[in-house]
């Protein structure tokens, strides 16, 4: 077969199938789809030199399938059976149902985002979350920006531009996705002043480099690693005392920042913004979509005068949160103030609070459903598993969990993984010791693990 035996775009557009499609899509979209399908056939002919030329009607049918999968699809939904509760590549925290309601309402209807309804004058966007943030952390003031990286950028740009920021060598973190603390400081126009060593830094190391050029002392939470063994780090109280003696701010990038003591729910403890504020930190930054369990945001709490300075920085306008985030964030923070049963209302906390027994029950149920749904070559059982919080909380701690192990006669584990990934929604597990595992920790319902297919493009 040669390239000339392929039907022309016009020939495909003239088919009955194309006429039906044109009732629901524009001619431009259909033409694009036909070109894509024809390109695929052309490449196939060029690479293999063989194959049967498709009829114009076949190309039209394939174009319909392409439109269905490529153009009418949402952001691809996935089931998170990786065992990592807050997975950055999967969008981190699921949002609480009440927060989703608020978000949807804000999307549908106008809201007083920047209008003071008492006076009728212009209001402050952050006022909708400032009080809640302050109350929940014991700080004087609070505000929100796009994410924690933006929060840090804003703090350094506002308080230490063209001045030195003192950071311990044990805390020069890279979070991933090109977030490296030294680079962020440089972009914010500050000069990094490293002190101490990777494993030991003392308060004297900080005081030795303090000068008129110092803009602030920064402490960063080592989110994704742990320095263990022969280590030393000054306490927050010591650093706060040193900073205040010299009249400079002490800032902490807390990373995840849980608003509640996670040990209450059986999970490993994470430092809270409240304890940082109590120890004398002037500004604490943390993420909205990590342990807090809300939408993506960077939260800042601390001294009223410093937060006011940040609000006045023109960068704030570029980093501000939109109304949907604001609505979801406010609703999530409100849950922390009012809910009598947080793990039921906040999915992230609910996942962390799951007991081994409830995970075992879910795993048994899921294994049963998978045995029914999959052909006999699949071998399915349940095993103990280790899940993690993810997104930089407790990098070395694991939570005991349960997983369904799926093996297939004649397949490697990565083939089983791609079989589950091809489902819609994609079911994502992890490979451990040569086996494909589906961890139940962050899976809402057992039935979610059963892979469903949608029609894919016939090639
Ligand atoms: C996750 C993290 C960040 C980045 O936060 P984003 O909200 O993803 O921008 C910064 N610092 C620390 C310590 C973190 O753990």
Distance 46 CA to ligand 1 centre (A): 48
Per the model's pLDDT, the better-predicted residue between 342 and 225 turns out to be 342
CA of 149 to the centre of ligand 1 (A): 6
Q: What average pLDDT does range 170-196 have in this prediction?
A: 84
Looking at the chain, which residues constitute the CATH 3.40.640.10 domain(s)? Answer: 97-343
For the whole model, what pTM was predicted? 0.89
Asked which of 132-146, 166-180, 246-260 is least confident by mean pLDDT, the reply is 166-180
Query: Looking at the predicted structure, is the pLDDT value of residue 141 above 80?
Result: yes
Write phi, then psi, for 301 (nearest 5 degrees). Answer: -130, 150
pLDDT attached to residue 394: 65
Which pLDDT score is estimated for 116?
94
Q: Which CATH number fits domain 97-343: 2.40.170.20, 3.40.50.300, 3.40.640.10, 1.10.287.130?
A: 3.40.640.10
Residues in contact with ligand 1 by the CB-under-6-Å rule are 147-149, 173, 175, 179, 220-221, 223, 253, 255-256, 287, 298, 391-392
Average pLDDT of the segment spanning 182-209: 90
CATH topology of domain 78-88+352-449: 3.90.1150
Residue 267 has pLDDT above 90, yes or no: no
Give the residue, by CA position, lying nearest to ligand 1 atom 10.
255
Mean pLDDT of the chain: 92
What is the average per-residue pLDDT within 318-337?
A: 97
Chain region(s) in the chain for CATH 3.90.1150.180: 78-88+352-449
pLDDT at residue 459, as a whole number:
43
Nearest CA to ligand 1 atom 1: 255
Percent of the chain with pLDDT strictly greater than 70:
95
Selected residue with higher pLDDT from 3 and 352:
352
Give the model's pLDDT for residue 47.
84
Strand order in the sheet with 430-432: 378-387, 399-408, 435-439, 430-432
């Amino acid at each position: 077969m040669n390239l000339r035996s392929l039907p022309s775009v016009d020939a495909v557009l003239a088919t009955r199938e194309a006429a039906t499609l044109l009732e629901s899509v524009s001619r431009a979209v259909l033409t694009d789809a036909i070109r894509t399908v024809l390109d695929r056939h052309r490449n196939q002919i060029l690479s293999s030199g063989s194959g049967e030329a498709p009829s114009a009607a076949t190309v039209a049918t394939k174009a319909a399938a392409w439109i269905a999968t490529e153009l009418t699809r949402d952001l691809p939904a996935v089931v998170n059976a990786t065992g990592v509760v807050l997975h950055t590549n999967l969008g981190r925290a699921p949002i609480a149902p009440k927060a989703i309601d608020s978000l949807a309402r804000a999307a549908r209807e106008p809201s007083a985002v920047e209008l003071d309804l008492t006076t009728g004058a212009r209001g402050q966007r952050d006022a909708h979350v400032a009080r809640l943030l302050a109350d929940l952390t014991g700080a004087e003031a609070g505000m929100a920006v796009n994410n924690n990286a933006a929060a840090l950028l804003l703090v350094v740009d506002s308080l230490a531009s063209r001045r030195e920021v003192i950071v311990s060598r044990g805390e020069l973190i890279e979070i991933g996705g090109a977030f490296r603390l030294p680079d962020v400081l440089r972009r914010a126009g500050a000069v990094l002043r490293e002190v101490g060593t990777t494993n030991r830094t003392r308060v004297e190391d900080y005081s030795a480099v303090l000068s008129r050029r110092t803009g602030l002392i920064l402490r960063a939470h080592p989110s994704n690693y742990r320095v263990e063994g022969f280590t030393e780090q000054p306490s927050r109280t010591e650093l706060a005392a040193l900073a205040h003696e010299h009249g400079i701010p002490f800032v902490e990038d807390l990373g995840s920042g849980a608003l509640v003591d996670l040990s209450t729910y059986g999970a490993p403890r994470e430092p809270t913004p409240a304890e940082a504020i109590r120890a004398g930190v002037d500004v604490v930054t943390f993420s909205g979509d990590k342990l807090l369990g809300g939408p993506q945001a960077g939260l800042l709490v601390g001294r009223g005068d410093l937060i006011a300075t940040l609000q006045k920085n023109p960068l704030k306008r570029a980093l501000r949160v939109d109304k949907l985030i604001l609505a979801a964030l406010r609703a999530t923070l409100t849950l922390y103030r009012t809910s009598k049963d947080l793990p039921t209302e906040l999915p992230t906390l609910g996942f962390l609070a799951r007991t081994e027994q409830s995970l075992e029950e879910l795993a048994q149920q899921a294994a049963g459903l998978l045995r029914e749904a999959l052909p006999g070559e699949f071998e399915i059982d349940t095993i103990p598993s280790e899940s993690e919080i993810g997104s930089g909380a407790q990098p070395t701690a694991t939570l005991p969990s349960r997983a369904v192990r799926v093996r297939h006669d004649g397949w490697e584990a990565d083939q089983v993984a791609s079989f589950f990934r091809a489902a819609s929604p994609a079911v994502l597990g992890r490979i451990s010791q040569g086996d494909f595992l589906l961890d139940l920790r962050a899976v809402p319902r057992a039935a979610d693990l059963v892979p469903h297919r949608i029609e894919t493009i016939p090639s």
